[in-house]
Amino acid sequence: MAYALPTSRAAAMAEDQSDPLALAAQKFCLPDGLIYLDGHSLGPSSRTALEAVERTAHEEWSRGLIRSWNDADWINLPKTVGAKLGRLIGAPAEDVIVCDSVSINLYKLAAAALDLVDHKRILVEADEFPTDQYMAQGLSAQTGADFVRIESGAARQALRDGGVLLKSVVNYRTAVIEDIAGLEQIAAEAGALIIWDLSHATGCVDLNLADDGANLATGCTYKYINGGPGAPAFIFAAEDIASRLRNPLPGWFGHADPFAFDADYRPVAGAARFAAGTPGVLSLRALDGALDVFEGVSVEQLSAKARALGDLCLWWAERLGLEPISPGIGARRGGHVSLLHEQGYAVVQALIARNIIPDFRAPDAMRFGFSPLYVRFTEVWDAMEALQEILAARTWDQPQFKIKATVT
Ligand SMILES: Cc1ncc(COP(=O)(O)O)c(C=O)c1O
């Protein structure tokens, strides 16, 4: 179902009423009166996630103890939860495994990809998320492969000379979205490999990794998937390449038969070889429960709503004279919108004081996240109206709003 751009609060209410996703908001445990526009950083808890953790802690762990690895099928959770994520990223269930963090997975995938390319170099765009850059630098230092920082937007050109590219599908600052199929085609022609960072895309963008010819990807689950703080990440490795990949951290959970206790490593077939050590079962169960909310929801619908909410924010930005660095109204973009303000940090703090939570990325970007499962059009309207008041009255210009916290 398509969404319209509401240009009055009444129109925003009408949009909420006809929204096929409206009922999903009830599945989350958000405090009353809070407008939460930070799901691009940390998604809220859902009832199903909390229930899953409680059940696992009280029944499976407390009573079942070690038996639960078999009886409650803990041992297969990285695969069964990975299978649920597969639908959301457009990948076959068996090509996805839940493991480690995005940072660690980037390293593992980039090392494995380097083995397969002729031109031993790792490419990262200058405005790529820092951990992607650091991991590429670390791997370069360890392997001797060149680390090449290319200009933002230059991946298309640089790929033609081969190598391994680490690339976010949705940029964490701007929400600019990448053309996966287009870049994959260039990479295929040049013998290059791309590792997609899906952190800002999973759960709010209609991803079709398999159809787009993607080979390798990782992403986090604590943003739009709402898996919980520090929830485990996932890896996608396409079947036709996975079994040629060498995990540089060959732990026993990626072994073909971990309980044979062989002295030598023998990887299991497919993406599952990227598992390394014992998974965090409580976190996996939280993620499993969080994914229940997505059942029966199409990624096209999620994507359409996230963009429509973002359009409304951009419509307001125009009226408030705020400069966006995100793709404009009607354009394809990720789930958030970034607006510039030189006192952006203080403005965000003033909004938080009014029970509206966006976030801030230095030096001047205010990020407003539009997680489609629980953000309403009227909430965006009210948040933007509050922003208007804060800017007009310069409410942000108070000392308490300028004290920088560690996490922004
Ligand atoms: C694009 C991107 N990659 C990676 C990360 C973080 O990786 P990790 O889960 O290892 O902390 C983030 C966190 O916000 C991100 O936005």
pLDDT tens digits along 388-399: 999 999 999 999
Q: So what's the pLDDT on residue 198? A: 98
Name the residue with the closest Cα to ligand 1, atom 6.
Answer: 102
Q: Measuring CA to CA, how many Å separate 148 from each of 131, 143, 168, 358?
A: 15, 14, 16, 33
Confidence of residue 170 (pLDDT cuts 50, 70, 90): very high
Question: What phi-psi label fits residue 121: left (phi over 0), alpha (psi between -120 and 50 degrees) or beta?
Answer: beta
Q: So what's the pLDDT on residue 407? A: 87
Instruction: Name the token pair of 336.
Output: 């958030």
CA atoms within 13 A on the CB side of 285: 22
Q: How far apart are CA 13 and CA 385, in angstroms?
A: 15
Å from CA of 284 to ligand 1 middle: 18
Q: 33 pLDDT exceeds 90?
A: yes
- Which ligand 1 atom is at minimum distance from the Cα of 220? 9
Per the CATH hierarchy, to which homologous superfamily does domain 9-46+298-402 belong? Aspartate Aminotransferase, domain 1 (3.90.1150.10)
Q: Measuring CA to CA, how many Å separate 227 from each of 14, 149, 219, 259, 293?
A: 30, 32, 12, 29, 11
Is CATH 1.20.120.420 correct for 51-292?
Answer: no
Using DSSP, how many helices (H) and how many strands (E) does the chain show?
Answer: 13, 13
Closest CA to 219 of 232, 238, 206: 232
Instruction: Name the token pair of 2.
Output: 């398509």
Q: How far apart are CA 366 and CA 191, in angstroms?
A: 39
Find the mean pLDDT for residues 32-40. Answer: 98
Confidence of residue 93 (pLDDT cuts 50, 70, 90): very high
In this predicted model, what pLDDT tens digit does every residue of 325-381 receive, in sequence order?
999 999 999 999 999 999 999 999 999 999 999 999 999 999 999 999 999 999 999
Q: Residue 270 gets which letter from DSSP?
A: S
Instruction: Spell out the domain ranges in the chain.
Output: 9-46+298-402, 51-292
Q: Measuring CA to CA, how many Å separate 107 from each of 46, 126, 350?
A: 31, 18, 38
Cβ-based neighbour number of residue 10 at 10 Å: 11
363 preceded by a cis bond (ω within 30 of 0):
yes
* Mutation test residue for ligand 1: of 101, 129, 200, 338, the one with most atoms within 8 Å of CB: 129
Which residues share a beta bridge with 323? 340
Catalytic residues: 129, 197, 222-223, 367
Pairing between β-strand 121-125 and β-strand 146-150 as defined by DSSP bridges: parallel
